């Protein structure tokens, strides 16, 4: 089979190459511990980018996917994934732009079923994964640890999918009631929700151990793979490039993007859009007080410290997994240099990046940290200046970072990553009121919940999994 270079993948650690998209999607992490990237980035002509302005989101998404999937899946399946992935959004533009100030725009990414941007890619991934499994004749067990938004989006995207089983671990009592209900009220026999007596790190540790557990793989008929759907999975990023291209073209061809950032997945998708020729004039990664990424890019010292809670909970990350993809590019695609950086980081919990690496990193991405006080002030300021528009705390971090850019220049676009109604406590703490509840949230309020409580212990988790109807 002949594949285009943008649809064949290699690992950032150099141990793997020539992997087609369907395997990348089902594997998640490359077997050598690296992250998958295409052999070459696709590039669209200026005319193609211009035409994006009058192309439907579904069609644009299909064109992006076509470049990254190639012949690995039937064209019809890719087309369907793009169409259905857009159809579940409640706004006709899918990801509309809203102006909130002079030269300042929000890209609303929260019109999907779980009201956060993760729906944009996760819905598409659900359809593509089903197609990949139908083709390979395998089953897939998806294991996910979540602090809220990823689990909700994943459950919604994979509920009822053929050949897929999903186990979602969340820390009991530490996700918001809304986030929990978005996961636990989905009535699908292929989804198991576990409320773990522990914190998010316990959940993540359990998932990591389970991902290496040979007893979960293989044995049954048809054979079963085990994987994860966080943003190390290239399928997530491929589904996020589209809205950058759509927004840049809608604003006349150039824009400065500001991205509220945790694992740097969404921001890296923006970098990819720029490489594809979209008018990404600049890219700013906005982080909260968990600022390991900003320190790494701005000072060259990358240190892992424990994350401390903030109101932008989905960004409480101190070891952003997708930094590896950007470092790979900044080294001129040198896997030895990537291994050096991330092996040192894993061993010593810190690594000096040095000027040969920080110079190219700084050329590609600005990184800005916004503290809690500023986050709350932005929620209030935007609400006051616009006559009542609510932003979520993650979006507020982005708006805070956007205020530091020069006013003169192409339009500034902040990615609005979640609906404010998903984070009522943070919004109420600032404004004394909460955003009106959208129908998608109201619908989950009174539905029965399906969730199993477990100790933060491997045997307890495996015992709960053994009760799953589709186990074995």
Distance CA 376, CA 392 (A): 10
Distance in Å, CB of 397 to ligand PLP, minimum: 8
Phi, psi of 38 (to 5 degrees): -65, 155
| Residue 149 binding ligand PLP, by CB under 6 A | yes
Residue 118 annotated in active site: yes
Q: How far is CA 48 from CA 3, 76, 249, 367, in A?
A: 22, 22, 10, 30
Short-list 75, 68, 79, CA closest to 8:
68
Query: In sequence order, what DSSP letters do the residues of 312-369 get, joined into one string?
Result: SGGG--SS-TTHHHHHHHHTTS-HHHHHHHHHHHHHHSEEE--HHHHHHHHHH-EEEE
Instruction: Figure out which of the listed residues 231, 249, 290, 310 binds ligand PLP, where binding follows CB under 6 A.
Output: 231
SS3 content of the chain, % helix, strand, coil (to 5): 45, 15, 40
Site string for ligand PLP, 394-413 (x = CB under 6 A): x-------------------
Distance in Å, CB of 411 to ligand PLP, minimum: 21
* Active-site residue, from 84, 118, 208, 462: 118
| Residue 261 binding ligand PLP, by CB under 6 A | yes
**Around Cβ 366, how many Cβ atoms within 10 Å?**
19
| Residue 314 binding ligand PLP, by CB under 6 A | yes
Site string for ligand PLP, 349-378 (x = CB under 6 A): ------------------------------
Give bridge partners of residue 368 from the DSSP assignment: 286
Short-list 186, 223, 199, 245, CA closest to 63:
245
Distance in Å, CB of 399 to ligand PLP, minimum: 13
74-113: which residues touch ligand PLP (CB under 6 A)?
A: none
**Around Cβ 252, how many Cβ atoms within 10 Å?**
12
| Residue 315 binding ligand PLP, by CB under 6 A | yes
How many residues touch ligand PLP under the rule CB under 6 A: the total is 17
Instruction: Figure out which of the listed residues 24, 65, 116, 454 binds ligand PLP, where binding follows CB under 6 A.
Output: 116
Nearer to ligand PLP, 65 or 267 (CB): 267
Per-residue burial over 317-327, b if 16 or more Cβ lie within 10 Å, else e, is bbbbbbbbbbb
| Residue 424 binding ligand PLP, by CB under 6 A | no
Distance in Å, CB of 153 to ligand PLP, minimum: 8
**Around Cβ 249, how many Cβ atoms within 10 Å?**
22
Distance in Å, CB of 28 to ligand PLP, minimum: 15
Interface residue list for ligand PLP (CB under 6 A): 116, 118, 149, 231, 260-267, 314-315, 394, 417-418
Give me the active site residues, please: 118
């Amino acid at each position: 089979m002949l594949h285009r270079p943008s649809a064949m993948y290699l690992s950032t650690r150099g141990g793997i190459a020539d992997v087609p998209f369907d395997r990348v999607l089902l594997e998640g992490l490359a077997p050598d511990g690296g992250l998958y990237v295409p052999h070459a980035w696709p590039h669209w002509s200026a005319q193609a980018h211009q035409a994006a302005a009058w192309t439907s989101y579904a069609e644009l998404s299909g064109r992006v996917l076509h470049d990254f999937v190639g012949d690995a899946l039937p064209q019809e399946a890719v087309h369907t994934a793009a169409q259905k992935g857009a159809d579940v959004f409640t706004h006709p533009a899918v990801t509309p732009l809203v102006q909130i100030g002079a030269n300042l725009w929000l890209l609303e990414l929260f019109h999907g079923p779980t009201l956060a941007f993760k729906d944009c890619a996760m819905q598409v991934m659900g359809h593509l994964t089903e197609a990949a499994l139908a083709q390979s004749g395998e089953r897939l067990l998806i294991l996910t640890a979540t602090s809220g938004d990823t689990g909700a989006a994943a459950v919604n995207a994979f509920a009822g999918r053929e050949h897929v089983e999903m186990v979602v671990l969340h820390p009991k009592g530490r996700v918001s009631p809304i986030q929990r209900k978005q996961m636990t009220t989905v009535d699908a026999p292929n989804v198991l929700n576990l409320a773990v007596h522990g914190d998010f790190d316990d959940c993540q540790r359990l998932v990591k151990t389970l991902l290496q557990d040979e007893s979960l793989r293989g044995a049954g008929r048809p054979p079963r793979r085990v994987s994860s759907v966080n943003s190390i999975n290239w399928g997530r990023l491929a589904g996020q490039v589209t809205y950058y291209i759509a927004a840049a073209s809608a604003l006349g061809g150039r824009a400065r993007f500001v991205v509220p950032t945790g694992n740097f997945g969404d921001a890296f998708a923006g970098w990819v859009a720029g490489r594809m020729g979209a008018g990404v004039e600049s890219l700013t990664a906005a982080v909260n007080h968990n600022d390991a990424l900003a320190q790494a890019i701005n000072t060259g010292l990358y240190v892992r410290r424990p994350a401390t809670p903030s109101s932008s909970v989905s960004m409480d990350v101190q070891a952003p997994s997708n930094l590896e993809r950007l470092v790979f590019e900044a080294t001129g695609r040198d896997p030895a240099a990537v291994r050096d950086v991330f092996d040192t980081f894993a061993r010593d919990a810190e690594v000096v990046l040095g000027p040969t690496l920080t110079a190219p990193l700084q050329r590609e991405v600005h990184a800005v940290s916004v503290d809690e006080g500023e986050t709350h002030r932005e929620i209030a300021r935007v609400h006051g200046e616009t006559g009542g528009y609510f932003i979520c705390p993650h979006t507020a971090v982005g708006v805070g970072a956007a205020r530091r850019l020069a006013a003169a220049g192409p339009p500034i676009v902040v990615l609005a990553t979640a609906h404010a109604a998903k984070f009522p406590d943070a919004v109420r703490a600032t404004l004394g009121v909460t955003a009106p509840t959208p129908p998608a949230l109201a619908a989950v309020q009174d539905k029965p919940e399906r969730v199993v409580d477990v100790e933060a212990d491997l045997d307890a988790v495996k015992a709960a999994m053994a009760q799953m109807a589709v186990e074995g």
